[in-house]
Amino acid sequence: MRRAALAAALLVASFGIGRTSGGAAEAESSAAAPPQIQKVPVRVLQREVRVRTELKVLTKPKPVPSRAVPKAGGKIVNYAPGCKLRSGAAASLRFIEAIVGRQIQTVSCWRSNAQQWSLYRSKPHLAAYPGTSLHEKGLAIDVNTNFLRRFPRVRTLLHQFGWAQFAPSWEPWHFSYRTVG
């Protein structure tokens, strides 16, 4: 029983779960007195914390260092004709496509080192130095800009499901999965 009371106090302090509302009189005296705790079953509190944690993960993904391959990365797989990605990135895009109801129009996905060298030689101001590109790791896509204009919800969903943009104003088409770069 003591463990449950401690967990309940921690949840009140951290999330405000289980706190009773007493109005203005309680707000004035809250500085002096500790908050009152309702008796709420621990199972209910655990479920609320899990839901709040899941919502936090979906709405604000945390990027990892650009050199690290995310655990969800996996091996390189065919995502669409002419487009290869890491399995985790491909699964994320398929999930977004299921929500939108159409295929995301990608211009560029995985590139070999030779393709990256060729692109770097022709556009050194746009392309990353070979060996440092997330396209080479299968963790980046370039989305058709007209597609993004026609379907602005896709950009929002990409951000919600682990895709980030390094420089949205400079490269509005470039998205990287679970990393920034």
Whole-number Å distance between alpha carbons of 164 and 64: 11
Alpha-helical regions (H) of 72-144: 87-100, 113-122, 134-137
pLDDT at 32: 52
Q: What is the mean pLDDT of the chain?
A: 73
Pick from 18, 42, 21, 38: nearest CA to 30: 21
Kindly state whether residues 89 and 19 are assigned to the same domain: no
pLDDT at 27: 43
pLDDT at 23: 46
Q: Which amino acid is at 178?
A: R
Could you tell me if residue 71 is inside a domain? no
Mean local confidence (pLDDT), 78-93? 90
Residue percentage of the chain with pLDDT more than 90: 41
Mean local confidence (pLDDT), 133-140? 92
Per residue in 5-37, pLDDT tens?
A: 655 555 555 555 444 444 444 444 445 555 555
Phi first, then psi: give them for residue 13, nearest 5 degrees. -65, -40
Kindly state whether residues 84 and 150 are assigned to the same domain: yes
Kindly state whether residues 97 and 142 are assigned to the same domain: yes
pLDDT at 8: 58
Kindly state whether residues 32 and 94 are assigned to the same domain: no
Q: Which CATH number goes with the domain that contains 153?
A: 3.30.1380.10
pLDDT, greater one: 178 or 107: 107
Per residue in 159-173, pLDDT tens?
A: 988 899 887 778 899
Please tell me whether residue 131 adopts helix, strand or coil conformation.
coil
Residues 22-51: b if buried by 16+ CB within 10 A, e if exposed: eeeeeeeeeeeeeeeeeeeeeeebeeebee
* Number of folded domains that form the chain: 2
Kindly state whether residues 48 and 83 are assigned to the same domain: no
Residue range(s) defining the domain that contains residue 37: 2-59
Could you tell me if residue 69 is inside a domain? no
Please tell me whether residue 37 adopts helix, strand or coil conformation.
strand
